[in-house]
Amino acid sequence: MPRGSDRLLLQPDENHDVVTPEVITNHPGELVSWANVDLNLLVVFDAILQDASLTRAGRRLGLSQPATSHALGRLRHMLHDELFIRGPDGMQPTPRAIQMAEPVREALSLLRLTLEPEEFDPRTSKRKFTLAVNNFAARAIIPALTRRVAQEAPNLSLDVRPIGRLDVLDSLDSDGADVALTVVGEGGERFKCVRIMEDDYVAVLDRNHPAAHTVLTHKRLAEMPHIAVTSTGDDTSFVDRALAEHGLTRRIAVRVPFLTIAVLLADSEYVVVLPRRVGTDLARICSLVVKDLPFAPPWIAVSMIWHRRLDNHPAQRWLRDTIRSISPD
């Protein structure tokens, strides 16, 4: 076992995060020579920090697990700190790594932006944009955005990711997403947050439904069997409260994911309550009609959030302007 200032570091192999010991020498207080710094090591550092795994970080970067392990070993040797320790939840950062995390991420992001072309031509760009979206934005904005991008930027690709359990601001901070479309009122000092769309709710039913061409009353709405959508997160309990004021209740006949709605509504007496833009989009491609509810429904809103460092980036501006143009408030 090495003595004194020498320290035992554990290096990963192809199948495990830690197996092979490697002795390195620690020289506290020694200055790092920037002439010897390989920026690729910082890219690996940031990936390990995000994934908490050498294997997953390697996949993210297109590196083999041994190559990722070797890069981490070099960075450990350069900085005289273990940086990551294997724990029950993966590779856990040391205090030094935590201290480095945000400055390194900011520096890498700034470097990427600096090296990109100053001009952005959507007609020729092969860039990929990543968007983190909530359920409403996925239904109300993404279809129209996809159609617009196909027309104006045919070589560009969109990677649309459901927010789910993601921390929106962390994802934007780590360049995991270019923009987020969700319900966030304030982004703090590092983020901009702009409300881009508001919508109300409507009833959607088959075009041949007996109520399709009449005014929808409280009584008629209560008599119709309702579809409850389980995958969107929409809270339609306001329907129950509005009907209760008239001594009425509705019956939820079936609970299904959103993708099943159009099939269930076809040639049936079902009704479903959805945001207006979502219902209108469905009616455009299916044999459905949109009906106003017999009471004033609540409003649903979505905001666009992005990191302030991307304010003046040409490609990012084009993306945000395009989203705004298809989602008027």
- Which pLDDT value is given to residue 295? 96
Q: What are the boundaries of each domain within the chain?
A: 6-113, 128-198+301-326, 201-297
pLDDT tens figures, 107-116: 777 777 666 6
CATH of 201-297, one of 3.40.190.10, 3.40.50.300, 2.60.40.1250, 2.30.30.140: 3.40.190.10
Contact 298, 201 (CB under 8 A): yes
Between the CA of residue 189 and those of 168, 173, 193, 268, what are the distances in Å? Answer: 15, 12, 10, 51
According to DSSP, residue 216 is labeled P
- Whether domain 6-113 has CATH 3.40.50.10800: no
Sheet holding 271-275, edge to edge: 251-256, 225-229, 271-275, 201-206, 288-291
Same fold, 6-113 and 201-297: no
Q: Average pLDDT for residues 188-207, to the nearest whole number?
A: 90
The arithmetic mean of pLDDT across residues 248-261, rounded, is 93
CATH topology of domain 128-198+301-326: D-Maltodextrin-Binding Protein; domain 2 (3.40.190)
Give 3-state DSSP helix, strand, coil % of the chain, rounded to 5.
40, 25, 35
Q: How confident is the model at residue 202 (pLDDT cuts 50, 70, 90)?
A: very high
65 pLDDT tier (thresholds 50, 70, 90)? confident
Half-sphere exposure of 50 (CA within 13 A, CB side): 24
**CA gap 216, 211 in Å, rounded:** 7
Task: Read off the pLDDT of residues 230-239 as tens digits, 9 standing for 90 and up.
Answer: 877 788 999 9
Residue 147 has pLDDT above 60, yes or no: yes
pLDDT at position 187 is 62
Beta strand 225-229 with 191-199 is unpaired
User: What pLDDT sits at residue 179?
Assistant: 92
Length of the chain as a residue count:
329
d(CA 178, CA 172): 6
